[in-house]
Chain A
Amino acid sequence: MSKMSRRSWASNPSYIDERYKSTILRGPSKSLVTIDPELAELTGPAFGAEVIGPLDHDLTRNGQVNGEPIGERIVVTGRVLDVHGNAIPSTLVEVWQANAAGRYVHKNDQHNAPLDPNFLGAGRCRTDAEGRYRFYTIRPGAYPWGNHYNAWRPNHIHFSLFGPTIATRLVTQMYFPGDPLLAFDPIFESVPEAARSSLVSDFSLDVTEEGFALGYVFDIVLRGFASTPMEVD
């Protein structure tokens, strides 16, 4: 079997980062045990078109009860690639986010901002043959959290991806360009500085839809099978 590239610790956060307080007791404290991925890790779930409902990609419509959700409509699109630049087709992309006021539907979210009866904030789609995904949604609001005094999360959308195997699994967050809160957010800042910009989407007038929604582009790069043995790390 071909070799899978390793998780890049130059691009990924450390498990324990004291600025993000929950990591102190929840990140592993011992070194990970390095193994070569075996068949168990070089396989993983594959989801067909049958798991995608007709409105699953459109968060502006999939939670409607009696009207349109409040907020600025946006299109979020991009390509899912591996580290060799190959498109990853037919892979599941799941997203979830706060509403325009910065409030999650989740029952444990106690932030005193209004829920939107017409917005759930969850969606999914599969990439096409070129690895492209596309969601319609509402730009999420910022919200306060208890990490430190006056802590606010920048606007973000949570992404969950599988790729072809469980070794390629990724859960991450997409941010918005020019957000002044990024510089104060310990979750964003946990990423090594050189890799941070890859979590910030680009505004695109080409993706923007006339009279309807602003466009943002967010490409996602997963681990991949090395094409030659030299490329493993």
Chain B
Amino acid sequence: MRIKQTPSQTIGPFFHYGLNPLEANYPHTQITGSCLVSPKIEGERIRLTGRVFDGKGVVVEDALVEIWQANAAGRYRHPGDTRVDRALDHDFSGFGRCGTGMHEGCHFSFYTIKPGSGQVGHAPFISVTLFMRGLLNHVYTRVYFDDEVAANAADPVFSSVDEERQSTILAKRRDSREGVEYVFDIHMQGDQETVFFNL
């Protein structure tokens, strides 16, 4: 038997009080936020920041960015990842949410750790799911790291992307007194249009 998928619809402009209410100061609890780090978690602390741009280069002020990633050992916290040789980190969920309109310059900003490589021969990366008004189906992309040149070149997905578009899924490392930041801007259209995956 096979039944039809329920169609997607836009998240609309007014999702904050339902999905990330604390970030937007609404009186409701939330299931996750933009900080995935707590003191006991293993791994290199990083900030993942960026902006979302529309086809005219205008910054998008009402997008929702979700991230999903492995822990420092490359293990996903999920029943489908049963690899006992990679340690689970019980305080690390691997999932975060951040809206773009709540912060200066409409940046999203996650405080997380750099993931380990999730599978042998794969580069480390963070999965991104993006929603916004005017986007009828969410899009998927991946954040690879620009200081992982050799691992990226060997990664089966990264290396399968046309070379001239690979830079659109590379986060740029910036070191400052605040620590390590990776900048990942997302372009919905145009010459710099981010690679979005049909998966």
Q: Using a CB–CB distance below 8 Å, which chain A residues touch chain B?
A: 1, 6-8, 10-15, 17, 20-30, 32-47, 51, 53, 56, 62, 81, 83-85, 92, 94-96, 98, 104-109, 120-124, 158, 160, 164-167, 169-173, 187-188, 190-192, 195-196, 198-199, 219-223, 231
From A37, A121, A199, give the contact of B17 (CB < 8 A): A121
Is B136 an interface residue when CB atoms closer than 8 A count as contact?
Answer: yes
7 contacts between A and B (CB under 8 A): A7-B198, A13-B7, A21-B134, A26-B188, A92-B31, A166-B66, A173-B10
Do A35 and B198 have beta carbons less than 8 Å apart?
Answer: yes
A198 and B12 contact, Cβ closer than 8 Å, known pairs A27-B134, A46-B79 = no
Task: Output the nearest chain A residue to B7 by Cβ-Cβ distance.
Answer: A191
| A-facing residues in B1-48 (Cβ within 8 Å) | 1-19, 21, 24, 26-29, 31-32
Which chain B positions have C-beta within 8 A of A122?
17-18, 21, 26, 28
Which chain A positions have C-beta within 8 A of B69?
40
Binary A-proximity of B107-127 (CB < 8 A = 1, otherwise 0): 000000000001100100101
Minimum C-beta distance from A221 to chain B (A): 5
A35 and B157 contact, Cβ closer than 8 Å, known pairs A23-B135, A40-B76 = yes
From B5, B16, B70, B129, give the contact of A12 (CB < 8 A): B5
Do B11 and A158 have beta carbons less than 8 Å apart?
Answer: yes
Task: Output the nearest chain B residue to A95 by Cβ-Cβ distance.
Answer: B18
Please name 12 further chain A to chain B contacts, defined as beta carbons within 8 Å, in addition to the given A1-B80, A122-B28, A192-B7, sorted by A numbering. Answer: A10-B4, A40-B142, A41-B199, A43-B77, A62-B28, A85-B2, A96-B15, A120-B27, A120-B28, A160-B11, A165-B78, A222-B5
Task: Output the nearest chain A residue to B125 by Cβ-Cβ distance.
Answer: A40
Which of B95, B119, B138, B189 has the most chain A CB atoms inside 10 A of its CB? B189
A45 and B95 contact, Cβ closer than 8 Å, known pairs A120-B28, A170-B8 = yes
A124 and B31 contact, Cβ closer than 8 Å, known pairs A14-B136, A40-B125, A158-B18 = yes
Which chain B positions have C-beta within 8 A of A81?
3
Task: Output the nearest chain B residue to A169 by Cβ-Cβ distance.
Answer: B129
Task: Output the nearest chain B residue to A92 by Cβ-Cβ distance.
Answer: B31
CB-CB nearest 3 A-B residue pairs: A22-B134, A96-B18, A26-B134
Which chain B positions have C-beta within 8 A of A51?
29, 31
Task: Output the nearest chain B residue to A156 by Cβ-Cβ distance.
Answer: B9
Which of A10, A37, A46, A109 has the most chain B CB atoms inside 10 A of its CB? A46
Q: How far, in angstroms, from A222 to B138 measured CA to CA in the complex?
A: 14
Q: How far, in angstroms, from A78 to B80 measured CA to CA in the complex?
A: 26
| A-facing residues in B57-81 (Cβ within 8 Å) | 58, 60, 62, 66, 68-70, 76-81
Minimum C-beta distance from A97 to chain B (A): 8
Do B198 and A34 have beta carbons less than 8 Å apart?
Answer: yes
Which of B18, B68, B134, B140 has the most chain A CB atoms inside 10 A of its CB? B18
Q: How large is the interface on B (under 10, 10 to 19, 20 to 34, 35 or more residues)?
A: 35 or more
Binary A-proximity of B162-199 (CB < 8 A = 1, otherwise 0): 00000000000000000000000000111001111111
Do B136 and A17 have beta carbons less than 8 Å apart?
Answer: yes
Task: Output the nearest chain A residue to B31 by Cβ-Cβ distance.
Answer: A51
Task: Output the nearest chain B residue to A96 by Cβ-Cβ distance.
Answer: B18
Which chain A positions have C-beta within 8 A of B7?
11-13, 172, 191-192, 195-196, 198-199
Is B93 an interface residue when CB atoms closer than 8 A count as contact?
Answer: yes
Q: How far, in angstroms, from A37 to B196 measured CA to CA in the complex?
A: 13
A33 and B135 contact, Cβ closer than 8 Å, known pairs A109-B14, A120-B17, A187-B10 = no
Do A190 and B199 have beta carbons less than 8 Å apart?
Answer: no
From A43, A121, A167, give the contact of B199 (CB < 8 A): A167
Q: How far, in angstroms, from A94 to B71 measured CA to CA in the complex?
A: 26
Which chain A positions have C-beta within 8 A of B119?
38-39
Which of A41, A56, A166, A173 has the most chain B CB atoms inside 10 A of its CB? A166
